[in-house]
């Protein structure tokens, strides 16, 4: 086996294989995943104990300098505290030696990341939906997973077995040749491995640093604009004027009859009940397993179709133009949510992003979310004030162009590839700037999100006060209720005193 030498051109890639463990190996896998969950719950309880203690002390009027110190949640601090507690804590003292240290490190690392996300979200340093405080993981609901970063992690030379720390050699359900060939050739190095239980089967995912040579695309000088939709999955128009349509396979709708029947069968069996302690019957477990297999098949079909589509696009065109869709907002439409989720708009963009950069080094352009690709005429550049979704044919009021709205949008997206050099973004004219009309003088026709109320520091909501006559007097900040009392601004993982470090 050749020695691995890091050099430019390496990317981090994952290889996933299904496993066929025997009874003892499956018990060991469940034990390791349970140990990760137990370590996570211990870390959450250990950190939040100081939060509750500080809240209680503040209610008794204890001075700020005399309050209980914050407990740090950085991974080194959690590891140090856990190593001291595992030998005396009754929850770990009897069995912690049965599992690899990587199992406990997995839970502690997950807890550290959860507290980091919560603190950044609370202090306004994290984008996206507001995150809540970490909570304990239920034994019944938690997903079984464990990550290994040190020790013996390899794929065996026979191509049908993998070796993991403390778990030994486990047979794989499928050949591991795709990773084994690269490891033997010295063009890959395994960094870590994660075992996970999904839909009744164990999987092992190997994270490897792989040397990947860039491949030249078929048409490097051609740009393509991709307009995603529900009626047709994608309409692709390139800079030469060629338009291709990719039909929507609708995998979920195709299996909906079988899924409904399987779900009805599960509901008619005797399932588990936490209130009474009732255990599920054998027939319920069998029916629930059949339902999971149907859902697994739909997910696999969708993944296969999206990978084939994105691979073909990334290997053919030198420039790819996609839209910046607000998929989370689109899913709020109860009439189209199921079709949008089944199409996988976000997954298409994610795959195109890394495949164009890492495999072919081509350009990917993301159109602005407010770019009116459907309302703009691809012939003359005129922009319609309104174009309802049910209108599927674009009719230009200026030049009289009649075209399918999806084809028109794809042509406009393809023209954006030349906009950086010509200064326009209109498919019909790339040299003469066009005056784009702005109804009501506004740049944005619609909102991407709902307007939020003004908030102050620490999530305080600004509420106007009114006088007896109903007029606004002034604005005051009303504290938003917190799970931990008045603890609104939490320190970061590094904002600790010398003793805590």
Could you give the residue numbers annotated as active site?
Answer: 227, 323, 406
* Cα–Cα distance measured from residue 327 to residue 278, given in angstroms and rounded to the nearest whole number: 40
Q: For residues 134 and 114, is the Cβ–Cβ distance under 8 A?
A: yes
HSE-up of residue 273 (Cα within 13 Å, Cβ side): 8
Token pair of 392 as six digits: 């599927």
Token pair of 282 as six digits: 């054998």
User: Which of these, 350, 343, 352, 322, lies nearest to 248 by C-alpha position?
Assistant: 343
- Count of other CB atoms within 10 angstroms of residue 77: 20
Q: For residues 191 and 151, is the Cβ–Cβ distance under 8 A?
A: no
SS3 (DSSP) at 422:
helix
Strand partners, 394: 403
* Cα–Cα distance measured from residue 131 to residue 114, given in angstroms and rounded to the nearest whole number: 9
Q: Is 260 exposed, middle or buried (0-12, 13-18, 19+ CB in 10 A)?
A: exposed
Q: What are the Cα distances from residue 16, in Å, to 72, 194, 297, 496?
A: 35, 9, 17, 40
For 36-85, the DSSP string reads: HHHHHHHHHHHHHHHHHHHHHHHHTT--GGGSPPPPP-SHHHHHHHHHHH
* Cα–Cα distance measured from residue 26 to residue 22, given in angstroms and rounded to the nearest whole number: 6
Q: How does strand 461-466 pair with strand 472-478?
A: antiparallel
Token pair of 307 as six digits: 């990978």
* Cα–Cα distance measured from residue 405 to residue 411, given in angstroms and rounded to the nearest whole number: 10
Phi and psi, residue 177, nearest 5°: -65, -30
* 413-436 CB burial, b ≥16 within 10 A, e <16: bbbbbbeeeeebbbbbebeeebee
Strand partners, 189: 209
HEC string for 314-364: HHHEEEEEEECCCHHHHCCCCCCHHHHHHHCHHHHHHHHHHHHHHCCCCEE
């Amino acid at each position: 086996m050749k020695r691995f030498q890091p050099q430019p051109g390496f990317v981090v890639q994952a290889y996933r294989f299904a496993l066929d463990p025997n009874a003892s190996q499956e018990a060991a896998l469940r034990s390791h995943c349970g140990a990760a969950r137990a370590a996570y719950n211990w870390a959450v309880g250990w950190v939040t104990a100081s939060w509750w203690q500080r809240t209680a002390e503040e209610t008794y009027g204890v001075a700020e300098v005399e309050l209980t110190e914050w407990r740090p949640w950085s991974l080194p601090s959690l590891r140090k505290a856990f190593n001291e507690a595992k030998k005396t804590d009754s929850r770990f003292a009897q069995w912690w030696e049965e599992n690899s240290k990587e199992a406990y490190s997995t839970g502690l690392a997950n807890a550290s990341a959860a507290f980091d996300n919560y603190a950044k979200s609370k202090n306004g340093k994290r984008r996206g939906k507001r995150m809540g405080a970490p909570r304990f993981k239920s034994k019944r609901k938690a997903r079984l997973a464990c990550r290994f970063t040190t020790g013996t992690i390899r794929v065996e030379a026979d191509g049908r077995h993998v070796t993991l720390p403390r778990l030994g050699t486990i047979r794989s359900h499928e050949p591991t040749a795709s990773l084994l060939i690269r490891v033997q050739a010295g063009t890959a190095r395994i960094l870590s491995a994660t075992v996970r239980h999904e839909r009744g089967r164990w999987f092992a995912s190997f994270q490897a640093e792989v040397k990947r040579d860039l491949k030249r695309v078929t048409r490097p000088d051609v740009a393509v604009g991709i307009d995603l939709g529900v009626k047709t999955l994608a309409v692709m128009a390139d800079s030469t004027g060629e338009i291709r349509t990719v039909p929507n396979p609708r995998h979920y709708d195709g299996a909906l009859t079988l899924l409904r029947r399987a779900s009805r069968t599960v509901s008619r069996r005797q399932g588990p009940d936490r209130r009474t302690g009732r255990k599920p019957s054998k027939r319920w477990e069998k029916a629930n397993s059949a339902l999971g297999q149907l859902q697994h098949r739909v997910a696999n079909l969708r993944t296969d179709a999206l990978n084939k589509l994105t691979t073909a696009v990334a290997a053919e065109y030198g420039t790819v133009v996609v839209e910046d869709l607000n998929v989370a907002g689109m899913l709020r439409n109860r009439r189209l949510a199921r079709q949008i989720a089944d199409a996988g708009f976000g997954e298409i963009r994610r795959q195109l992003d890394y495949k164009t950069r890492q495999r072919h080094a081509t350009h990917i352009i993301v159109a602005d979310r407010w770019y009116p690709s459907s309302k703009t005429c691809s012939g003359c550049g005129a922009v319609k004030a309104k174009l309802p979704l049910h209108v599927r044919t674009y009719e230009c009021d200026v030049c009289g162009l009649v075209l399918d709205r999806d084809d028109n949008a794809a042509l406009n997206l393809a023209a954006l590839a030349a906009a950086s050099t010509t200064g326009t973004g209109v498919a019909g004219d790339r040299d003469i700037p066009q005056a784009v009309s702005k109804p009501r003088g506004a740049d944005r026709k619609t909102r991407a999100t709902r307007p939020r109320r003004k908030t102050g520091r620490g999530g305080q909501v600004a509420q106007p006060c009114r006088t007896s006559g109903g007029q606004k007097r002034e604005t005051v900040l009303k504290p938003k209720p917190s799970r931990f009392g008045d603890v609104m601004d939490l320190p970061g993982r590094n904002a600790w005193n010398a003793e805590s470090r």
